[in-house]
Amino acid sequence: MNPEKSKTPIHNSKSVVRLPMIIGITLAAGVLLGSTFFSGGKKLSDVAKGYAKYREVLMLVENNYVDSVNTDELVDFSIAKMLEKLDPHTAYFNTEEATAARSQLESGFDGIGVEFNIYNDTVYVVTPLSGGPSETVGIQSGDRIISVNKENLSGPGVTNAQVYKLLRGKRGTKVDLSIERVGLKERMNYAVVRDRIPTYSVDASYMVDQEVGYIKVSRFSETTFDEFKSALKTLKAEGLKNLILDLRGNPGGYMERATSMADEFIAGDKLLVYTEGKDTRFDRKTRSHIDGLFEQGPLIVLVDEGSASASEILAGALQDHDRALVVGRRSYGKGLVQMPIKLTDGSELRLTISRYYTPSGRSIQKPYELGKGEDYSLDLSHRYDSGELFNADSIKFDKSKVYKTDGGRIVYGGGGITPDIFVPKDTLLNSKYLFELYSKNIIREYALRYANENQKKLEKQTFKDFLQSFQISDAMLSDLVKDASRAGIKPNEKELNHSKSVITSQTKAIIGRYVWGRKQKNGLNNEVFQVLNPSDNVYTQAVQLFNQAAQLEKGKFSSLNIPKNKN
């Protein structure tokens, strides 16, 4: 994921859940409706009584408590504890945190490039930003950051501001992270070099062959729709007839960018999304209204457990209108809308004011209990443990929330977008040796050194020739293993052979991006995706499904190979 001049709300709550915070920028996986202050209410007398009681207690503590106290800290703490009784996404930022977030929006800064949650005083990686330094070294969604530069980051009182302070810094400086990962008993140590957080949200856009195009969108920021439209126009000029839109790992952002994108695919005057809250001022409906660039033609959308909020709005609209075949794994399930409200002292409240619904009436928000967020932030770990990421039969549907698409296909509400075609998470080639290479940045450093030393020779060919003919030789692999040994990673031939195809493809991708991709000014990482996608099991299955996507577009549902109880 990348840039973020986005003012989208941040989902967080101090001890329940802090949803996506981007290091170097504030990008929430939520939906921004606007910053409007509340007024009025039916129970003002009750609110006044509560305020009077709180003020009385605070004054008594300030004037009479035996020791000196920091009143500001008490107020911040009490507000945060109060909000814990609400939903997992309502959040409060004290003045320091709010100032840091706003400064990021204004100018950006250098960091390690991750989005994170804070839950139970532990920092969880939501997703590494695409093309950023954390993704490069192999940090993964769900990783727990235990310490930064040997300073503990896990324990009572860890704050958003503390995380910013430790992870931000001048580009080129190194950050040593201690990571815990699901499925591994031992902690992993990563050396991440800070860099400028990318400012693009369309990561890749290229023609797979003469008819099939691929576009990867990593978030919905201010420039996303313009980037997407430009990419789509270019692909159409190159002969685009079938499109794969990859929303995997996309945590959301501006709702309007997602609905504008949906409008490019959906013809006529159709509902795209609507919101409902207690106050009707925040109810709205968004409909398609323009002649889009790709209203006809087979369309496949890729989603996974990291696709949230605005990503789910887009995927849900396309699925409900039978416009796209959705492939992958069940999406995150974030359907609450936050409104950012700046308070008089510079602090900020992100208050949940409504829910969004797909055209068929589905609420995608996954279940939660007010004030009980224990399982909420750990949902992805639960999905891993339950087997849902590996077996479609492990997905639990709420049979009381059954809805139908325009064509009568059954879809379910109450927990993300379930794909039409399930593809399991591929972990078969993982090994501890591979994780160690990632953690000490061996693959990237070797690839960059090789590219530097052989750049003139490599540049004599086109990237297309490189893609088709270049192979990581045994001698190159041997040099990489020697680098790993010098870094303290013990050779393990069995695990090396097990993960060899991943290591070689990652090395080739980085070489390709460094030699050919770095000269581009449009933010696209086409070279990386062109190397890696052919070994991506979700992608490889998707490119075989355009016949089904074409049948779906024509309304011929009976010929689709889609399990009736899985869509």
Which residues are tagged catalytic?
309, 320, 334
| Residue 69 DSSP one-character state | -
Residue 157, classed as helix, strand or coil, is: coil
Q: Do residues 505 and 440 lie in contact, with contact meaning Cβ atoms separated by under 8 Å?
A: no
Residues 6+ apart with CB under 8 A from 113: 1, 22, 23, 24, 128, 129, 131, 132, 133, 134, 135, 195, 197, 198
Q: CA–CA separation, 461 vs 516, rounded Å?
A: 10
DSSP state of 521: S
The residue among 16, 26, 78, 476 whose CA lies nearest residue 8 is 26
Residue 179: name the closest of 168, 192, 195 by CA: 192
Residue for token pair 């080739």: 508
Which of 463, 442, 471 is CA-nearest to residue 518? 463
Q: Which of 244, 218, 240, 139 is nearest to 524 (CA)?
A: 218
At position 499, the amino acid (one-letter code) is S
Alpha-helical segments (H) within 159-205: 160-167
b/e sequence 172-182, b meaning 16+ C-beta within 10 Å: eeebebbbbbe
Contact 437/445 with Cβ under 8 angstroms?
Answer: no
Cα-atom radius of gyration of the chain, to the nearest Å? 24
In terms of Cβ atoms closer than 10 Å to its own Cβ (0-12, 13-18, 19+), residue 21 is buried
Write the DSSP symbol of residue 375: T
Question: Which tokens go with 141?
Answer: 């969604």
Cβ partners under 8 Å of residue 468, min gap 6: none
Q: Which of 330, 324, 494 is nearest to 417 (CA)?
A: 330
Give me the count of residues in the chain: 567
Q: How far apart are CA 464 and CA 20, in angstroms?
A: 37
Cα separation, 192 vs 3, whole angstroms: 19
What sign has the CA pseudo-torsion 217, 222, 225, 229?
negative
Helix (H) / strand (E) element for 526: namely helix 526-532
Q: Report the alpha-carbon distance of residue 559 to residue 561 in Å, rounded.
A: 7
Rounded to whole angstroms, the Cα distance separating 348 from 388 reads 37
CA angle 534, 538, 540 (to 5 degrees): 35
Quote helix, strand, coil % in the chain, to nearest 5: 35, 20, 45
Both tokens of residue 539? Answer: 């992608």
- Taking the C-alpha atoms of residue 492 and residue 323, their distance in angstroms, rounded to an integer, is 48
